[in-house]
Homo-oligomer: A and B are copies of this chain.
Amino acid sequence: MSRQLHFNLFLHDTGHHEASWRLPGSDPYANLSLAAHQHLARVAEDAKFDSVFLADSPVLFNDPGRRPSGKLEPTLLLASLAVTTSRIGLIATASTSYNEPFNLARRFASLDHLSGGRAGWNIVTTAGDAAARNFGLDGQPLHRTRYQRADEFLEVATKLWDSWTDDAILADKQHGVHALRDRVRGIGHRGEFFRVDGPLNVPRSPQAYPLLVQAGSSEDGKEFAAKWAEAVFTAQPTLAESQAFYADLKRRVARAGRDPDHVVVLPGIVPVIGDTEAEARELDAELDRLIGPEYALRQLAHTLGVDPGILELDRPLPRDLPDEEEIEGAKSRRTLIVDWARRDNLTVRQLIGRLGGGRGHRTFTGTPVQVADTIQEYFENGAADGFNIMPAVLPAGIEAFATKVVPILQERGLFRTEYQGATLREHYGLPRPANRLVLAGEGVR
């Protein structure tokens, strides 16, 4: 079979557009609704998507006055969705800065067992002082320190997932031997950030490790991805930038001694689909009208690390902005936004309009064929292995994509019409990790 596209649905209650909850058909309580999430996952599974995904941060992130802002904890929500789906992958975001590796490794191993091998972990280091202040700190650790901790966190987690061999359980009722003791081992980890004895209290799971996903595009983030990630979410506003990111990341993966085909690159896209171009553009414009500018201005100022007072709606961004190096938050998001505004010479108001929908991700507005064409163009020109689908409005946006765009791509032989594998790794064509504990025991490594 020829190379195949991969699709992830980025779940986001009523949609990725800031104002989507205000549309007449939207359920403003969707963020807390199991039924709403079950519906989205089912639509994506019916369309044979590889996975669904939940973003997260352990802090009340959005202004609760402005849009639905509470979020159910992702690993629990996905454990619920595991029951009402059977094939689609389930990717939860969790922070390496504000969790203990034993607890988190265990939750992902549990999700992998509960779902029959469909768990994925979007690894984040969590930007922002507000999150830090929910965990006894005065402010966030340095960007570099967060990534150092993340690296050791992954070392501990993978050791824990290797602490049972795949054949550890005998279940010999006759002799009363459940597991072979020498195939369940402590990890004795002693590092800079963590000391963990192990073994994990969950046997090795169907996928061995959850699919490891990463989304930060700073220098540290890309190096971390090159070492650990198997799928990468990224925000790239143009084809050329996607191509550059794609080539750069695959090079880094090779340099880290890994097979570049074992990392799938998934740019985020916001499909706005109409039966005609005019219809699609009208939907786009309606959403922008619903956003008030004050809130968006404050959010933009926060990302840029400046005072909201210095931004004027009908003028371009000020010349004088803090460099990426000075920002300890989401570095790559900031750089993307500034580059974009300067290149297209946008006023602050225009910039806010674009960010409301896509937050730096590429918006594909058009007919189903136009959207399919653009996807194919990216896929066949070294810009993407698939896409992270971020509909502006949910569930309408994913229903339109699933029923109108997916069939075109299936007809073109670019996307599966049936699931071929059982696990999330199999959907993405990624190998199941070998057990390093066994390799070590045999002296292979």
Contacts and interface: CB of A to CB of B under 8 A. Distances in A.
- One complex includes copies of this chain to the number of 2
Nearest to A72: B110
Interface in A187-216: 194-203
Interface stretch (A79-87, A270-278, A323-331, A407-415): A79-87
Interface residues of A, number: 75
B110 A65 contact: no
A133 interface: yes
Contacts of A135: 100, 102, 196
A102 to B, nearest CB: 4
A28 B173 contact: yes
Interface stretch (A174-182, A246-254, A419-427): A174-182
Contact of A178 (B64, B107, B133): B64
A131 to B, nearest CB: 9
A177 B29 CA distance: 13
A64 B114 contact: no
A82 B130 CA distance: 32
Interface string A80-108: 10111000000000000011101100110
Interface stretch (A163-171, A234-242, A306-314): A163-171
Interface in A47-100: 57-61, 63-73, 75-77, 79-80, 82-84, 98-100
A76 B104 CA distance: 12
B34 A133 contact: no
Interface string A23-53: 1101011001010000000000000000000
Contact of A66 (B113, B134, B178): B178
B133 A197 contact: yes
B196 A134 contact: yes
Contacts of A114: 34, 72, 76-77, 80
Contact of A136 (B106, B196, B200): B196
A321 interface: no
A299 to B, nearest CB: 14
B76 A75 contact: yes
A380 B169 CA distance: 46
Nearest to A76: B79
A22 interface: yes
A355 interface: no
A338 interface: no
A375 interface: no
B201 A61 contact: yes
A150 interface: no
Contacts of A179: 64-65, 69
Given A64-B184, A76-B75, A178 B134 contact: no
A111 interface: yes
A173 B22 contact: yes
B176 A292 contact: yes
A69 B22 contact: no
Closest CB pairs A-B (n = 4): A28-B171, A64-B179, A79-B79, A133-B197
18 contacts: A22-B176, A58-B106, A60-B184, A60-B199, A64-B179, A64-B181, A64-B184, A65-B178, A65-B181, A66-B178, A67-B178, A77-B110, A80-B80, A80-B83, A98-B100, A133-B195, A134-B198, A137-B195
